[in-house]
Amino acid sequence: MGVAIDADGYVYSGSVDNEVHKITPAGNNEWVYTEHGDWVHAVAVDTDGYVYSGSADNEVHKITPAGNNEWVYTEHGSTVLGVAVDADGYVYSGSVDNEVHKITPAGNNEWTYTGHGGIVNAVAVDADGYVYSGSTDDEVHKITPEGNNEWTYTGNGATVREVAVDADGYVYSGSIDDEVHKITPEGNNEWIYTGHGGNVNAVAVDADGYVYSGSVDTELHKITPAGNNEWVYTGHGDTVQVVAVDPGLHGAGF
C-alpha cells in the first residue's frame, strides 16, 4: 500500500506525483524523495528506518533514513504494486507481470515466484519469512521463505486488492466483491466480513487483531478479531485507497 508508519510514528507516503514523503509525528515534512520516474504505488519501512518504494517505473527503490537512494532494483517487467520488508531486510515485491520477487538487503534477486495467474496487487510477510500475495486471479498465496507455494486460498470471489498478516499468522484479504476475509495460518477461512458497500481496497491489522478496511463506499471500518463491526468512519468523501495502523497502538485502547 501507499502509506507506511514506523515504530517512532513517522509516516511515509507515495503518490501519483512520483514522490515519497517522510512526515514527522507532528505532521511536518521531513524529506521528499524524487528519484522515481512514475507513480509510486507502494511503500514499506524497516526497523532501521530504511524505506522501500514500488512504482509504475517497474522499479523498487531502497531509500536511506535521510531520504537518499541506497539502491534501485530493476528486475520487474512491469508496474510494482506491492512492497513488504522483513526483519532481516529482505524485500518482497508484487507486480503487474504476475510475479512476486524476493530481493536481498543488497538489492539483488533472491527468487521469483510465478504461481499467480494474474496481476499481484499486494504482498505481506510474517515474522518467519512466509510471504502472502493477493492477485487478480482472486487468490491469496502463502509462499515459503524459499519461494515455493505453501497453500492457495480461493475463498475470495473476485480480485484481491490487499493482504495483511498478524503476529499469529492469520491473513486478512480485501477484494472487489466488497468483502474482508480472515484466513487461518493453514489457509482456511475463519470469517468473512460483508459490511462494506463497495470494493475493499485497503486492509491493515493491529497488534490485538483488530482489522481496518477501506473501500469505494468511502468508509473506513474497524472490525473485531471475531469479524464483527466495531465502528464505521464516514468522514471521507471518496474512495479509501490505503490504510495503515501505528505499530504501537492496540485495538481495544483507542
Q: Which domain CATH number covers 103?
A: 2.130.10.10
210 within a domain of the structure (yes/no):
no
Asked whether residue 28 is assigned to any structural domain, the reply reads yes
Other beta carbons within 10 angstroms of residue 242's beta carbon come to: 19
Residue 234 falls inside a structural domain: no
Any domain includes 204: no
Domains: count for the chain: 1
Query: Is 23 inside any structural domain?
Result: yes
In a domain, 129, yes or no: yes
How many Cβ atoms are within 10 Å of 119's Cβ, its own excluded? 19
Would 233 be classed as within a structural domain?
no
> pLDDT tens digits for 199-221?
999 999 999 999 999 999 999 99
| Domain assignment of residue 216, yes or no | no
Which domain, by its residues, includes 86? 3-189
Q: What pLDDT was estimated at residue 248?
A: 64
Task: List the pLDDT tens digit at each of the 254 positions of the chain.
Answer: 789 999 999 999 999 999 999 999 999 999 999 999 999 999 999 999 999 999 999 999 999 999 999 999 999 999 999 999 999 999 999 999 999 999 999 999 999 999 999 999 999 999 999 999 999 999 999 999 999 999 999 999 999 999 999 999 999 999 999 999 999 999 999 999 999 999 999 999 999 999 999 999 999 999 999 999 999 999 999 999 999 998 765 544 33
